[in-house]
Each structure stands twice: as C-alpha cells, then as structure tokens.
Chains A and B, each alone.
Chain A
Amino acid sequence: MPAFSLNTGTQTAPLLELRQVVKDFGGLRAVDRCSFAVCQGTITALIGPNGAGKTTLFNLITGFLKPDGGSIWFQGRRIDGQPSHKIVRLGILRTFQVPRELEAMTVLENLLLVPAGQTGERPWAVWLLPRRVAREEQALRRQAGQVLEFLGLVHLADAPAGSLSTGQKKLLELGRTLMASPSLVLLDEPGAGVNPTLMNLLAGHIRSLCRERGITFLIIAHDMELVMRLCDPIVVLDHGSVIAQGAPDEVRHNPEVVRAYLGGPV
C-alpha cells in the first residue's frame, strides 16, 4: 500500500489532500490513517455510517482540532495544526451540521462579519480612517446584497438570524462561506432538517457555484439520493478510514460499502 493514495481517475490536481491522518479521543481512534484527496472543481461527497469520523475530519481540516498524526495539504501547502482563522484566510470555509448562526445579529451582519482584512476591524480605525472604513463597509454591503440575492434571502436581511427557519439558516451558512470568496467549501449535512423543495434549491446553488465560480465542495451527507445526483466522486469512510472512493456507480456496488452500511457480510 502506498504511503498515501490519490483520488483515482481524475484529471485535475488535488486541491486538498489528507495523508495518513490520525485523531484519537482518549482511547478512541476517531480517524485512523485516513488518506484521500479532493480535486479542484469537484463536488466530492464524504459519506459513511454514524460515528465514521466525518465531522471529526471536517474539524481537522478547518483547524478546530489538531491531528495526532499524518498531514493535511491545501494547494501544496501543509495546513494541519494551523488555527481556524488562518485556514479560513487560505480559502477553506465550512458550515456546521447544526447551523451556528449569530442569533441576535441580523442576517446582514452575519454576512458582513466574514470578509477578512477589514480596515474597520482595528479599534482605532473608526477614528483615524473613518472614510476608508465607511467606503469598505459600503462595498461589503453590496457584496452581501449579491449573496442574499443569490440565496433568495434579501427580504430577511435585517431579521435577527435566530428567527430564520432551519432551511434558511442552512442557506445563511452557505452565504457566510461565500462572503469569503472561498476556493473550497465544506458542507456538513446541508440537507439535515431541510424540506425537499429547499434541498433542491440548495443543490442547485451548489452546482452553479461549482460550475460558474469554480468553487470546490466537500459535502457530508446522509441523503443518498442527493449524494448520487449531486456528487462525484464519493469518498466512503468507516471507522475513521477510507474504505472506498470513486464515481457514484462504483461506490454503490462496492461490497465493502454495502457491508459498512448494512452491518454484515453481503
């Protein structure tokens, strides 16, 4: 077995690459020598039974956890162990399984927060460079307006984010990632708690963002129908390691995958 394996059958260079990543929680090995790559311009699915380590992997990639072994590479740069805010600045954005919107702040404020390097984020800037802060703020508002329009949330711009429905919160989470002009977006169960109509809308957004803006997606999902329709390739995780990966049809008929999901020999 090679030290790490690249995603097979793809033409483009890996954007994100995990090599032999290990994460232990006490005695439990949540991620076990996990290696896979996400290629530029794909919508890659990360699936696996509950407890397979999917969300832990997201936390490792985005710097909320540090791996106990192995390495994570993004655009040829090693990123494991870096703090979350630095990883965001590299262009890796994530959403959460349970939306973590800033409840008491408005939808617009949730979005305005995101862009990096705002002059007004320095406490003295509002005194020394008020014009520049105001100018930047105006540009951010325009950008946020476009994102809201894309997501169909314009009418909720000034509503407190906590008042949104679950589906709208998921859209807002997606919007938050877009405000950072990401190159890779990790979506943790974008479909959970969302009605089918909104889910179709969300899937359409993801597809158009990938095609038109070249944003690469890595998506954790349980809704197999959605995964098969939207994603290619699919990476299957079980007990913290990759047990299969490839195109939807290959993965669907892989005996290992069937066993992991059904819990016994085929």
Chain B
Amino acid sequence: MLEIVNYLAGFAILASVYAVLALGLNVHWGVTGLMNIGIAGFFALGAYTTALLTTPPPDPAKFEQFVFGGNLPGLFQRWGVGGDLWFLAGLAAAALVCALVALLIGLVTLRLREEYLAIVTLGIAETIRRVFLNESWLGNGSRGLYQIPKFLGNLAAPWLYDLLYAGVALALLLALFFIVERTLRSPWGRVLRAIREDEVTAAASGKNVFRFKLQAFVLGALIMGIGGGVYAHGFRFIDPFTFDPLLATFIVWVMLMVGGSGKSAGALLGALVIWGAWSGSQLLPGYLSNPNLRYLLLGVAMVLVLLLRPQGLLGRR
C-alpha cells in the first residue's frame, strides 16, 4: 500500500515538474513561436542553483574538490527567519539565474532568424550540463549533489515526505499556471501571439518585435528554472545525467505537442498524459519495457498526434 502511495507521489512530483517545464515551453513556442530546444539547460540551471544554495557546505573530508554549498536553511535560521522560507528564496534565485542567462542568450540571438535560437539553445543546454560535469568544485561532477534539504521536512515523517512534497509541487504548478494565464491574457500576450503568427505584420503594426521576444524568452526560461528548483527538492539528488536532452528537452516538446501548443492547459494535460505513458510503460512486461523501445514509442506517439490531430488534444485549429 505504502509503496503504491509513494509511487504515485513520485509520479505526481515528476509530472508537476514536467508540467512546469511544458508551461515554460508554451510561453516560448506555443505563444511566441520561439524555438527553444535547450529546455534541459534552464532545467539544470534552476535545479543546480537552488541545490547549491540550499545544501550545507560539504564535509572537506568526504569531498575533496566540491566546495560550494550556500546553506540557506542554516543562514535563514541564524537570521531569525522562521519557517521554511529558504525554499522560496532558492526558487527565486533559480528563476533569477535562468532569467539572466536567457536575457544574455536572447540579446545575442533573437535579432537573428529563428533557426539560430534553436541551434544556440541546443548548444547552451549541453554546455551548461558539461560545466556541471567537469567543474567538480562547483557541482561535484558526475557524482552529483545529494542531501538537498527537504522543504517542510519537519512537518511529516520521512516516509510521508514524497506525498507532502507532491502537494507542494502541485500547488506551485497551479500557482504558476494561474500567473502565466493571467499574464498572457493581456495586450502583452496579444502582441506575442501576433509575433508567432507573422513577425512582419507585428512590426508593420508598430511593435518592437525584438523586445517582446526577449521578454517572452526570459519569462519562459524563468518558469523552467522554477521547474528545476521544484525537481531538486523533490528528489534531493541531481547529477548532470538528470538533464539528458531526451528526458529533459525532447519529452517536454512531445508533451506540449500532444497536449496542445499555444494553451497552458494543453501543456498541463500533455505533461500528465505523456509522463503517464512514459512511466507506465516501465511496468510493461519483458521487452516492451526496454527504454529504447519506449523512446521509439514516444516518437511514434508524437508523429501520430501531429498527423491525426496537429493542434494537439486541447488545441484549436
């Protein structure tokens, strides 16, 4: 019984994280038409930022090279800030770092044709992963970061943490969903949709296309960074392989395509359906649960949706 509960809690946490990533991608691609194929980069950056800021400094006896560890929970306690507010500070930092990196990437690439953004984001995502892999003083290399603190860890027995945190992840997801939806249902969102439809018309209508693209790129990246932060405190272990392009970029694209590009609700539904199919297929008997075959099926699923229902489950023509 407990195993099932824990499995479902783990599923809910990951599905929520993916939904947050898909929500960010929807701002990029679904609404504005920015082709970001480096979701993994912002996901990693968010997760590492909050993990590095909140873990206690490493024991020099155990970690020879790894030196970082912001110990935010300890600091907050010393400053007399009660509760687990360090968690929100960590997420805010993750969002901020991703926003800054997105701003830099955007300033360089968003004036160019859209393909450049795709290539650059792909490259930067891999670069970010490699930095955490190779700079072992920063991210403990391939051994990764562990003992990432538990948010609200004191409230529940250890075996209940996943369930508690699933609730936290879900609440954060819904809050982000609401914020994004309200922000997009505005003249600002209208300009973004216009840019997706036809950049030239948007410019001929007097819109500074570059500036709006930059704003959208930063907003989407910031959301992805929060997704990374949520992931870090849920699994409490991250390493560079967590942010492998297949499971950190490609699958998010499948989720958005299947759910319905252009709609926040589509991003959420797609994350649920695809993550359900992906993790459910793990339980298939024998050869069917082979990860390579599952990747293949994921690709087939996306192609089928694009052929049969190109607007996605919730999208509109």
Complex contacts, A121 vs chain B, CB 8 Å: 187-188, 191, 212
CA–CA, A109 and B211, complex, Å:
20
Whether B206 sits at the interface, judged by CB under 8 Å, is yes
Complex contacts, A103 vs chain B, CB 8 Å: 197
Listed residue (B182, B188, B201, B215) with the most chain A CB atoms within 10 angstroms of its CB? B201
* Minimal Cβ-Cβ distance residue in A for B205: A114
Whether A118 sits at the interface, judged by CB under 8 Å, is yes
Q: Mark B182-210, 1 if CB is under 8 A from A, else 0.
A: 11011110110110011011111111110
Q: Is the CB of A113 within 8 A of B194?
A: yes
The stretch of A49-57, A123-131, A225-233 in contact with B is A123-131
Q: Is the CB of A123 within 8 A of B206?
A: no
Q: Is the CB of B186 within 8 A of A125?
A: yes
* Minimal Cβ-Cβ distance residue in B for A161: B197
Complex contacts, A101 vs chain B, CB 8 Å: 201
Q: Mark B214-226, 1 if CB is under 8 A from A, else 0.
A: 0100010000000
Q: Is the CB of B201 within 8 A of A120?
A: no
* CB contact between B183 and one of A62, A102, A123, A137 (< 8 Å): that residue: A123
* Minimal Cβ-Cβ distance residue in A for B210: A83
- Dominant secondary structure at the B interface: helix
* CB contact between A120 and one of B188, B200, B204 (< 8 Å): that residue: B188
Given contacts A126-B182, A127-B183, contact A84 B190 (CB under 8 A): no
* CB contact between A104 and one of B183, B197, B206, B209 (< 8 Å): that residue: B197
Complex contacts, B197 vs chain A, CB 8 Å: 102-105
Complex contacts, A136 vs chain B, CB 8 Å: 187
Q: Is the CB of A123 within 8 A of B194?
A: no
Whether A133 sits at the interface, judged by CB under 8 Å, is yes
Q: Is the CB of A137 within 8 A of B205?
A: no
List A residues 91-139 near B (Cβ within 8 Å).
Answer: 93-94, 96, 100-105, 109, 112-114, 116, 118-123, 125-127, 133, 136-137
How many residues on the B side are at the interface (Cβ–Cβ under 8 A)? 25
Complex contacts, A64 vs chain B, CB 8 Å: 200, 203
Q: Is the CB of A112 within 8 A of B187?
A: yes
Complex contacts, B191 vs chain A, CB 8 Å: 113, 121
Q: How many cross-chain pairs have Cβ atoms below 8 Å apart between A and B?
A: 86
Q: Mark A165-185, 1 if CB is under 8 A from B, else 0.
A: 000000000001000100000
CA–CA, A136 and B186, complex, Å:
11
Q: Is the CB of A137 within 8 A of B193?
A: no
Q: Is the CB of B187 within 8 A of A85?
A: no
Q: Mark A51-78, 1 if CB is under 8 A from B, else 0.
A: 0000000000010100000000000000
Listed residue (A119, A120, A127) with the most chain B CB atoms within 10 angstroms of its CB? A120
Given contacts A102-B194, A103-B197, A127-B183, contact A84 B188 (CB under 8 A): no
Given contacts A100-B198, A123-B183, A126-B183, contact A109 B204 (CB under 8 A): no
Complex contacts, B207 vs chain A, CB 8 Å: 85, 113
CA–CA, A114 and B183, complex, Å:
19
* Minimal Cβ-Cβ distance residue in B for A123: B188
* CB contact between A127 and one of B182, B187, B198, B201 (< 8 Å): that residue: B182
Whether A236 sits at the interface, judged by CB under 8 Å, is no
Q: Is the CB of B187 within 8 A of A88?
A: no
CB of A72 to closest CB in B, whole Å: 17
CB of A40 to closest CB in B, whole Å: 21
* Minimal Cβ-Cβ distance residue in A for B191: A121
Q: Is the CB of A120 within 8 A of B209?
A: no
CB of A47 to closest CB in B, whole Å: 22
CA–CA, A85 and B191, complex, Å:
13
* CB contact between B219 and one of A94, A123, A126 (< 8 Å): that residue: A123
Whether A89 sits at the interface, judged by CB under 8 Å, is yes
Q: Is the CB of A88 within 8 A of B204?
A: yes
CB of B28 to closest CB in A, whole Å: 14
Listed residue (A62, A101, A105) with the most chain B CB atoms within 10 angstroms of its CB? A105
CA–CA, A210 and B161, complex, Å:
71
Q: Mark B222-249, 1 if CB is under 8 A from A, else 0.
A: 0000000000000000000000000000
* Minimal Cβ-Cβ distance residue in B for A115: B206
Complex contacts, A88 vs chain B, CB 8 Å: 203-206
- Hey, which bits of chain A sit against chain B, CB under 8 A? 62, 64, 83-85, 88-89, 93-94, 96, 100-105, 109, 112-114, 116, 118-123, 125-127, 133, 136-137, 176, 180
**What 7 A-B pairs come out closest when comparing CB atoms?**
A88-B206, A120-B187, A126-B186, A102-B197, A84-B203, A100-B201, A114-B205
Query: 7 additional contacts, CB 8 Å, given A85-B207, A100-B200?
Result: A83-B203, A85-B206, A113-B205, A120-B186, A120-B187, A121-B187, A123-B188
Q: What are 11 inter-chain pairs, A to B, with CB distance below 8 A?
A: A85-B208, A96-B201, A100-B198, A100-B204, A104-B197, A113-B205, A113-B207, A119-B187, A121-B191, A123-B183, A180-B205
